[in-house]
Every structure is written in C-alpha cells, then in structure tokens.
Amino acid sequence: KLMRPQREFCSRMSQRIAYGDSVNQTIADFTTQEGESVLLPCSYTSSFSPVLFWYVQHPPEPPRHLLSSYDDPSEETKKSGFSAVLDKKEESFHLKKASGEPRDSAVYFCALRDTVKRTTSVCSTGTPLPIRPPARFPSLLSVREPPEVLLEEDLSVWAKQWGRDAPSGIAT
C-alpha cells in the first residue's frame, strides 16, 4: 500500500497560492490495473507564464523530477512511457501512460513555477497510484452437464467425469 505523500516536499516547494497561482490534482486516489491506461489530471491557474512539472515518489525515497512542460523528456522518462502536454487554453498538464506497470506504483505530484517573477513555486498534494496485477481467470471451470450427449468418434472407449464424481466409461 502506498503511503501518503511527504508534506515536506510541498513545503520545500513553497506550497502556497501567490499572485493567483495554484495547481490542483482533481483525483486524490486512483487505482488501475496492470496494462490499463493511466491518466492523472492536473489543472492550474497562473497570472504569469508557468512551467509545469510532474514529480514521482516511490516511498520511502524522496520525490524526483519526472518531466516538465519546458524541457524535452529525458531518456529515462521516454522509457517509462509517461507523457504530458501543456494545454494553455484548458490550463491543464495531465500525466498519461498507455499501459500501467507495477513499477509505476508511486505518488505523483504536479507542480508549477512562474517564468516571469521566478518567485512562485506551487505544488499539489499528490496522488497515490497503485497498479493492481491483471485479473486472473478462476482455476476451477464450472460446466453444466447437458441433458443428452451424443458422442460420435471412432474409438473403443470414452470416459467422462463431472465435478468430483468418479469417471464413467462408455464402450463401443
């Protein structure tokens, strides 16, 4: 189970609303299954031209930079499959991945920094993202016995077994 994000991270990022800047992750808890797509929304408001960031934290490690709206993604980020596109009209920077993996289970933070005053850094409270293993098929298959079975095969012995009953044979 993922821990709640470390408050120190946002404190160091000066979690505050200044000059009308704010960042919000609209989903506080999100669970997905291995192989399913991942979408972590991030919306923001800013009086200036912001740079948006995503950070990832695998507790108990500290958060680390995943990607930003300013730089090209690193090779590590490209390999991870995560991406985000800054939509200035919608004021969003959603984190996306086509297919979640167990190694993606972590806490994700969206943050912004204005590029004009360079005095404001605002971060969200973080979203834990657990990735569940894929659903498994049951190991026991239940089949109902049909009322009548017609077996046509060129064999001398047939056998059938239902549930825990002993096998019964048919000789031809």
Per-residue model confidence (pLDDT) at position 96: 95
81-92 pLDDT, tens digit per residue, is 999 999 999 999
Per-residue model confidence (pLDDT) at position 126: 80
Average of per-residue pLDDT values in the chain: 74
Name the CATH code of domain 7-132 (choices 3.30.70.2740, 2.60.40.1220, 2.60.40.10, 3.30.565.10): 2.60.40.10
Task: Please say if the pLDDT value at position 155 is more than 50.
Answer: no
> Which of 81, 57, 53 is closest to 68 using CA atoms?
53
List the single range of 14-23, 65-74, 109-118 with lowest mean pLDDT: 14-23
Torsion of CA 11, 17, 18, 21, to 10 degrees: 110
Per-residue model confidence (pLDDT) at position 170: 54
- Domain coordinates of the chain in residue numbers? 7-132
Is 14 in a helix, a strand, or coil?
Answer: coil
CA distance to 24, 48, 73, 95, per residue, from 123 (Å): 8, 16, 20, 15
